Structure 1
Amino acid sequence: MIDGLNLPLDFAAPWALLLLPLAWLPMLRRRREELTFSSLSWLPQDRLGIWIERAGRAAAVIAIIATVLALARPGRPEWEVDRIGRGAEIVVLFDSSLSMDNEMVARGAHPKRRRDSPLRKRNIARRALSAFVERRPADRFSLLMFGAAPFRVTPFSQSPEVIQAGITAAGISNGLPGTDLGRGLMAAIEQFNGRAYTGSRVILLVSDGAAEIDEITRQNIRNGMRQHRIALNWIYLRSVNWPRLDSEKEPEAVGLITDVAMHRFFKTLPTTYKVYEAESPDAVSKAVADIERAQNLPLEYKERIPRRDFTPYFYFAAILACLLLLVHRATTVRSFAR
């Protein structure tokens, strides 16, 4: 069965259907057709004339019905089609705190905070994510940003234009004060509420760390990740000259202590977790490429097919019927002229 053919027609302007009784008008006899003669029984029956007359009335009826239906704007309603592809449902959780405005520079250099700098952490991450989305047409993306509180930029969508617009919006303003990663992760998990499990699910966290998560929120995150079977990938935009998260040395800087604590907590999650530590634009691009290779599993998803409008077909039928009426009229006039 062809998708959507079993769906009923709908009408965008159903009020126009009230005009359908007008289609009965051509079936009524006109006064000039009711002429009385003394006797016509001796004349042979004009079968051709009868069928021509019937064809003219039928064309008039069709013209009226087709015009009325066209005014009612018939169509097939929007429907969903089950598809099977390769990809994932990915929630991008983007850190919008003030620290993301810092530049990602080489070791020994002093980072600056310039909004227009191509080396700004926020801009580097946006470029890598934009390329990632462009190469993943089968994925469904949702984009969230967080500072002191999370906010959703785009819901789940398979439209590249929508996602790219959301990624662009992530770099319009300056960073937000505060970094409440716990609320951000809970908001990302809630994006899967009410969604049927169809395949690989991922939260892609893009952050430079420096956030704390209380124990109650940690337990809620564990439960949510387990319930929805969500993997976590963290692109960690490491600050300049800071050691790696898995370094055997105990961290001394306050910010690094927080980052190590986050990393150790993520390792206790009941689902898959992987961290990508990046301190250069190339490292960010390589991390995104590795995620792209890993998240390429079979994925069941529903594709929304937009409403199909049949109005032009009914207007075309009405035009054809009117042309037949013109031919019928011309033929009838010539017959009377003779």
Structure 2
Amino acid sequence: MRLDFAQPWMLLLLPLALLPLLRRRSDTLDFPSLAWLPPDRIGRVAGFLWRGFAVAAMASIVLGLAGPGQSGAQVQRTGRGAEILILMDRSSSMDATVHTNGLPMAGRMSQEPKAKVVRDLLSDFVARRPDNRFAFMTFSTVPIAVVPFTQKTDTVQAALAASAIGRGLPETRMGVALLAAIEEFEHRSYSGSRVILIVSDGGAQLDEATRRSVHAGLAREKIGLYWIYVRSGPNSPNLNTETATAYGLGEELALHQFFKTLSTPYRLYQVDDSNAMAAAMAEIDRQQNFPLILHERVPRRDHGGAFYLAAMLCCAGLLACRALQLQSWRTSP
């Protein structure tokens, strides 16, 4: 970390610290002969220390006035967790509640919109992982990068809360959103596990070009994929039991079948209520707990106090030297 000065012009006063080295007329005494004088070793040591302390005291004061410090520094530390990009579906279907046979399902999702339950659980997930780097992106018709990768979890929490404003659009363009999420990892140094966490109640039929781009991007950036699939009711496909081929079937199954062909890790969490989603988030929390290199930018640190303390110690040394000289004069014959 580089040392800088808040007021570098004060360094022009630094040559004043050499003043104690200049001899004064009162320092010179005339003697016809020095052979009869006893050697004053204590006085010589005290004189040398006096000048050294005086120079150091003045130099320390000038350096302290110049405002030394370290600005824009980065501190590297090691934590546990991952780089997680939350890709949250904000289509209009996420504003609906879940019903089964005309009756609300057991659990919190029966009384509240899916989007609100998702936000609350994601908020708890972020709060439990202070060492992680999070990014937050929403999508419906177009993806919106709300928060770039950051270690400031309060920023992510504010973004999650802000996603409750307004209503989503009816269209869900998963392919464009995935490509935008992968781009967030580009040009970043690899420092630990990388994950895209998709939270959505729908899928997509991706064209061949998009499938190739997603497949290549995830492999190139070494990104794992988690999909929390929020079922909308009994008519939603059960992705854990379907075994048919993807094409010609629903968008959710088509997307799931494509994700299973990825060369990077993929995991599906199919949830029907808030309890199931909470369990899914807890499992992801346990799995993504690897060593992670963190670079934290710290605010400017001012070191002026250390120089002022050094000046005070030097002044104390000057007093000690003066006391030593007086003691030497009193004990001399």
2:120 aligns with: 127
Displacement after TM superposition at 1:235 (Å): 0.9
Residue 48 in structure 1 maps to residue 49 in structure 2: no
Q: Is the 8 A contact 1:105 1:280 kept in 2?
A: no
Q: Which of residues 189, 194, 204 is equivalent to 1:201?
A: 194
Q: 1:148 to 1:315 in 2, by over 3 A?
A: farther
1:189 to 166, 172, 182: 182
TM-score in terms of structure 2 length: 0.78
Mean Cα displacement is larger for which, 160-169 or 185-194? 160-169
1:17–1:72: 8 Å Cα contact kept in structure 2?
Answer: no
Q: In structure 2, how many angstroms separate the alpha carbons of the residues matched to 1:146 and 1:179? A: 7
Distance 1:204-1:248 versus aligned 2 partners, 3 A rule: closer
Amino acid at match of 1:188: A
Using a 3 Å threshold, how does the CA distance of structure 1 residues 37 and 124 change in structure 2: closer, same or farther?
Answer: same
CA 46–334 in structure 1, closer or farther in 2 if over 3 Å, else same: closer
After superposition, the Cα gap between the structure-2 partners of 1:86 and 1:55, relative to the gap in structure 1 and judged at 3 Å, is: closer
How far does residue 138 in structure 1 lie from its aligned partner after superposition? 4.2
Counterpart in 2 of 1:299? 291
Distance (Å, rounded) in 2 between the aligned partners of 1:24 and 1:74: 24
Deviates more, 1:235-244 or 1:320-329: 320-329
- Find the counterpart in structure 2 of residue 73 from structure 1: 68
Q: Give per-residue Cα distances to partners, 1:159-186, cap 9 Å, x unaligned.
A: 4434333333333x12343433222111
Q: How far 1:76 moved relative to its partner?
A: 8.9
CA root-mean-square deviation: 3.6
| Secondary structure class of the residue paired with 2:47 | helix
1:275-307 deviation per Cα after TM superposition (whole angstroms, max 9, x unaligned): 2222311121112122223334x4342443636
The answer to whether the Cα contact below 8 Å between 1:124 and 1:284 also exists between their aligned partners in 2 is no
> Aligned pair 1:102/2:131, yes or no?
no
- Distance across 1 between alignment mates of 2:49 and 2:242: 93
Change (3 A) 1:262 1:323: same
CA contact (8 A) 2:98 2:104 kept: no
State the identity %.
41
Give the whole-Å Cα distance in 2 for the aligned partners of 1:100 and 1:118.
Answer: 13
- Distance in 1 separating the partners of 2:61 and 2:205: 67
- Kept in 2: contact 1:212–1:262 (CA 8 A): yes
Query: What is the aligned partner in structure 1 of residue 219 from structure 2?
Result: 226
User: How many aligned residue pairs are there?
Assistant: 316
CA-CA distance at 1:332 after TM superposition? 7.4
- Spell out, residue by residue over 1:76-105, the C-alpha distance to the aligned partner (whole angstroms, 9 max, x if none): 97345363x543322111122333222345
> Which sections of structure 2, spanning at least 5 residues, go unmatched?
none
**Are the counterparts in 2 of residues 15 and 72 from structure 1 also a CA contact under 8 Å?**
no
- 1:63 positional shift: 1.1
> Partner of 2:250: helix, strand, or coil?
helix
* Structure 1 unaligned spans of 5+: 1-6, 112-116, 251-255
